[in-house]
Structure formats: C-alpha cells, structure tokens
Amino acid sequence: MDYPILVLKEGREKSLLQRHPWVFSGAVQKMPKKANNGDIIQVQDHKGRAVGYAFYDPSSQITARVFAFTQTAHDPPLHIDEAFWEAKVQQAFDLRQQHLNFETTNAYRLLHAEGDFLPGIIADAYDKVLVVQLLIKGTELIFPTLEKIFRKLGFSYIFLNVKENVKHLEQLELPKGWVGDTPKLPIIVKENNLLFEIDIENGQKTGFFLDQRENRALLGTYSANKSVLNCFSYTGGFSVYALAAGAKKVDSVDISKTATAICEQVIKLNFEPQDDKLTRHKAIAADCFDYLKALPAESYDVIILDPPAFAKSKKAVQRAARGYVSLNELGFKKVKKGGIVFTFSCSGSVDRDLFRKMVFSAAAAAKREVRIIAQLTQPLDHPVNIYHPEGEYLKGLVLYVE
Ligand code: SAH
C-alpha cells in the first residue's frame, strides 16, 4: 500500500537514522499531501529515500512518530496490517512473560509507548483487565485492531482511559469507559504477593503506579522495626511493603481523601483483623508539605518522598525545582540520625543529573550529612528504548542521612 509522503529537510534524517522516533516540525521540508491527523505516512529524506513509517500529527511539534524504520534502500514497502500490529504487541508481551514473575505479580505495564516501539499508547494490565491510554490520534484510529489483539492475548475487559487535555489536543473521539463488558469491581491484583485494590474508573494514572514495584520491594528491606513516613502515599503502595516487612509504625500521607480511603482498604486486604500490623498503620489526608513542616525534627527512621510530577514541561522546570528542593529539605530535617530517605522524581523534563543537584541543594540547606546508597529507576515493564532517552522518566535516590 502507498502511504502519503513527508519529506525531511537535508540533514534532518540523521536522528532518525539513529532510530530516534520523532520528526519535529522544524525538520519537515514538505508535509504529506492528503493526510489527516493520525494517518500513517512514510517519512523520506530530501533525496526521496525511505526512512520509516509514522503516525502523522500536523498540529503537534512532533509532526510524526515513527513506529517502523526502513533498514535499507532495498526494503520492500511495509505492509501495515493486523499481523504487523500483533507482532509488535506480542514483542512487548514476550518481554514481560520472560522477565516478570507472573506467579507473584499480575499487574504490569504491557505497552510503554516508544519504549515498546509503539508511540502514542500506554496499556496497563491488571490481571484480565487492560487499561488503555491513547495519547495520539494515530493509535485511536488503529484501536479496533488493537482491541482484537488484546482480546486474543487473554484480556477479557478493556477500559479506555482518555485524559481530558489529551482528548482536546489530539482531537480524540472515543469516550472514556469500558469497551464491551464491565468486570466485577473493584479489581484486586497481586504485586509481589501483596494485594492492591485498583480504582480503574476514577483513579490516578491508569489506577495504580506500577512503575514503583521494585522500589517498593526495596523499601521493605529497610523497614523492619522502623518508623516509616510514606509521603504522597496514594493507595499505600510503599506502606504495605513496609508493614509486611515488620515496620513498627507506618504513616501514609496523601492529599486525596479517595486515595487515603482506598489505602486503608488495601491495608485491611493484606493483614488479618487480629494482626497488630493494622494498628501500626495510619492513613492521613493532608498536604505533605504542611504535614512535614508541622513535625518535630528527626521524627521518623525512614521517609519516602514520591510526589507527582512537579514539572510537566521544560518551561515549568525552574518552578518545579523549588518544589523538589523544599520538599527534600523537609525530608532531611525530619528523618532521624542514621535514617533513610527514599526520594523520587517522575518529571520527564527533570533529568537524573538535575534531580541529583536539587537533592544536593536540599541536603546542604538542611545541614545534614547525606550519602547516596542506591540509585533507582523504572522497572522492566517500563522499558527505555535506547535511541529514545526521553522515555526514562523515573529517578530515585536512597539516601543515608546522619
Ligand atoms: N507512591 C505512590 C504514588 C504517588 S503518586 C505509590 O507507590 O502508589 C502522587 C500522589 O501525590 C497522588 O496520590 C496525589 O494525590 C498526591 N499529592 C499530590 N499533591 C500532594 C500534596 N501537596 N500533598 C500530599 N499529597 C499530594
């Protein structure tokens, strides 16, 4: 099949030849004729040599997102049909099947956009339920095909989660909601044999923060007999691991009352009513900055700081930096001598070095001795395409504070 053709300016094919999947508007010599938002197009260099196939988005700064690169000039034209998309989804599924332990965990990210060579879509699996987030028109147009593929893989229930701002920007038309049958709610999943209730319809992200799975398990190893403060606790991910590992006290603080209510549920799901772990836990609906400020110095053995993305864009980085510095400064002041701080940033526009500098400034302002004892990131079901470093967004530091 012939696809509309986008021609690049001379020299602007370089990053694409290195498999970076984005065509920025400034790199375009000639826009495709007769192509609409979301259509599949072919990208060519200025000499008319094929570079790859992409989803077209004329009103975005990223005019095209490449999902298949042309290897050589002799490549036959690509046939983009159901089997093509199925092979891509299968490739993503195989990675998870091979390297996640499905006996202890049945919640994972199946598709991580560019990280799985499929730009414009995220799909999180909660046992037999798949929550799909469409990020561009291109993936909306192929959604009927993707739906068939997901069902073949064994997902009985599919929820389309459309964020309002994306819907507007990308002119998405499919409504948020269940596609086909609705399962019995709420959905309970297993993560490292701990249980979590997932708020699919109204929760944040796709209902759960799957990207912290391994970091939560690591937190457990620091928690036995400790007092733990989980800031920005959402539905209590880190708290459950701390209690399961024998923490003597765990406080979960989140500004959302819905989140703290589910957090309490989640604790009850995991521990028997007679278990004194229940009495060691408290869920508190409060602003974490206020909560931390009101604490006496050196209050907890372990403090987790996992705030939402303070910088949603490059422009917002400076203001966000002040937020990260003051939050971490508070964390350092309120942790005991010889204590541990787990600190994170999930802002894509704050890179690892910048995050570390912010934490450095916070440590200096708190006048504490601080050493990095582990550096954390996102797990294997949120893979980073090596040619697309923008896909690495989660950064964490485990700090030993004296
Ligand atoms: N650590 C969690 C995920 C945290 S997501 C986990 O492992 O599941 C960030 C959370 O911060 C959200 O639940 C959001 O409600 C909460 N939040 C945002 N601003 C806040 C604030 N100022 N104070 C407290 N919580 C806040």
Residue 206 CA, ligand 1 centroid: distance in Å: 14
User: Tens digit of pLDDT for each residue in 328-360?
Assistant: 999 999 999 999 999 999 999 999 999 999 999
Nearest Cα residue to atom 16 of ligand 1: 232
pLDDT at 1 over 80: no
Kindly list the protein residues whose Cβ atom lies closer than 6 A to any atom of ligand 1: 204, 209, 212, 232-235, 237-238, 254-256, 259, 287-289, 306-308
Residue 46 CA, ligand 1 centroid: distance in Å: 47
Query: What is the Cα 295 distance to its own chain's centre?
Result: 31
* Residue 177, pLDDT score: 97
Atom of ligand 1 nearest to the CA of 237: 7
Give which of 361, 388, 363, 359 is closest to 376, Cα–Cα.
Answer: 359
DSSP 210: G
* Residue 387, pLDDT score: 97
* Residue 113, pLDDT score: 98
Atom of ligand 1 nearest to the CA of 306: 1
Instruction: Assign 73 a pLDDT band (cuts: 50, 70, 90).
Output: confident
The yes-or-no answer on residue 288 being catalytic is no
* Residue 314, pLDDT score: 78
366-371: average pLDDT: 98
* Residue 45, pLDDT score: 97
* Residue 120, pLDDT score: 97
Largest interatomic CA distance in the chain = 74
* Residue 142, pLDDT score: 98
**Amino acid type, 262:** I
* Residue 72, pLDDT score: 84
Residue 285 CA, ligand 1 centroid: distance in Å: 10
Residue 176 CA, ligand 1 centroid: distance in Å: 23
Could you give the CA distance from residue 198 to residue 76 in angstroms, rounded to a whole number?
Answer: 45
User: To the nearest whole number, what is the mean pLDDT of the chain?
Assistant: 96
Q: How far is CA 268 from CA 39, 218, 233, 304, in A?
A: 48, 22, 16, 21
The answer to whether the CB of 107 falls within 8 A of the CB of 187 is no
Nearest Cα residue to atom 20 of ligand 1: 255
Residue from 255, 292, 293 to probe ligand 1 pocket by mutation (most atoms less than 8 Å from CB): 255
Phi and psi at 276, nearest 5°, equal -70, -5
